[in-house]
A = this chain, B = another copy of it.
Amino acid sequence: MSEDINFEDYTSSHCGIELTLSVMGGKWKPLILWFLIKKGTKRYGEIRRFIPTVTNKMLSQQLKELVNDGLVSRKDYKQIPPKVDYSITDKGKSLQPVLDFMCIWGLEQTKTFNKVK
């Protein structure tokens, strides 16, 4: 049994990155999470305005997944007209270091690029 185990068996699925990506990967989730972390509780429309290129379909879908994965919590005020807001959870907040880093790294690249140009 153990003779079948060798170092070749250590593949990408063992390193945790795939799991992390499954929860915060994609085009929109990092932006949503970063916004909620930095700016606090926000209403649906505010998030939408922060990410001008996202559609209703994608935003509501991504928010739903974030809520399901426990990174974001949703509060429905049960009003007419509707009022719903979203906050980051502790679990979501634990991703702050990655998001901060991605934000800063991107800005650094912009600066460097402009200098070289």
Which residues of A come within 8 Å of B, CB atoms? 8, 10-12, 15-21, 23, 25, 27, 30-31, 34-35, 49-52, 94-95, 97-99, 101-110
Contact = CB atoms under 8 A, between A and B. Distances in A.
B12 A31 contact: yes
B16 A110 contact: yes
Contacts of A27: 21, 25
A116 to B, nearest CB: 11
A27 B15 CA distance: 14
Given A95-B105, A105-B98, A51 B17 contact: no
Contacts of A99: 17
6 contacts: A12-B35, A15-B106, A15-B107, A18-B31, A20-B106, A98-B105
Nearest to A99: B17
